[in-house]
Amino acid sequence: MEDRNTIEKSYEPACEAHRTKYFRSVSALRTEFKMHQDIETEKPHLTTRRGFIVLCSFAVLGLYGLWAGYGAVPTGLGSAPRAMPGAMTGSGPAEDMDSHVPVEEFRRRAQAFVEANLLPDGSVRPAVADRASTAYISEPVEVYLMARQYSYWPAVLRLGKNIPYRFRIMAMDTDHGASIQFKGAAYMIRARAEHMIEKVLVFKESGEYPIFCTVYCGVGHDLMKGKIIVE
């Protein structure tokens, strides 16, 4: 018996070491398993909220593309050529042709243009030398248009059909846009602040063509409207 007890006592340290190693292994496995669970929990997954946000993002992008196609918003494509609506033709770059014209000088020119062509109803009709022979007009008739918060001036232009008009447009305070609305189409001109834009346009069909600002310019942006009446 004494020998047996001696043998058992001699094995006790080895058994204790094995038990300690076992429990350490189990503890390490539990820690590793918990780490894997935490990693799986942190992985992004599509929830109802995230799916709704993604759906709304695609819807906004689709609407922006649609509005850009109609000329209601800027596309950021610089001075790339734009298709002209069937009721209008144009020529000349839609960029600033005389960007060095000071704001006050442009204001003076626009004031003189309005005073010389103002009608009793408040609209402006640019003078044409011989309206009976519009088919022979070669030099464009000058038109000045100021874009400012939150209106165009003059607000109503009366133009003749098939007459070339040289539009001189300036944004007086901040960036603006001038989107001329046609039936099922629009033509947009981007006006940078304090830069004069020059564009020659010919309206081929009679009618009323609203003008809307396409660049957000402040709280009154939605009220910024004008009109071209082609007679």
What is the rounded average pLDDT of the residues 135-152?
86
> What is the band of 128 on the pLDDT scale with cuts at 50, 70, 90?
confident
pLDDT surpasses 70 at 191: yes
pTM (two decimals): 0.62
> What is the band of 167 on the pLDDT scale with cuts at 50, 70, 90?
very high
Q: Where are the domains of the chain?
A: 2-43, 81-230
Q: pLDDT tens across 4-38, in order?
A: 555 555 555 555 665 565 556 656 656 666 665 55
What 105-109 contacts at long range (C-beta under 8 Å, 24+ apart), as own/partner pairs, is 106/144, 106/146, 106/168, 106/170, 106/172, 106/196, 107/146, 107/172, 109/144, 109/168
What is the rounded average pLDDT of the residues 83-88?
61
Q: For domain 81-230, give the CATH number.
A: 2.60.40.420
pLDDT score at 136: 52
pLDDT surpasses 70 at 120: yes
pLDDT score at 141: 94
Q: Decide which of 183 and 37 is more confident.
A: 183
| Secondary structure percentages of the chain, helix, strand, coil, to 5 | 40, 30, 35
37-76 b/e with 16+ CB inside 10 Å = b?
Answer: eeeeeeeeeeeeeeeeeeeeeeeeeeeeeebbeebbbeee
Name the DSSP class of 129: T
DSSP-derived secondary structure for 34-97: HHHHHHHHHS----HHHHHHHHHHHHHHHHHHHHHHTTSS--S-TT---PPPTTEEEES-SSBS
pLDDT score at 37: 59
| Averaged confidence pLDDT in the chain | 76
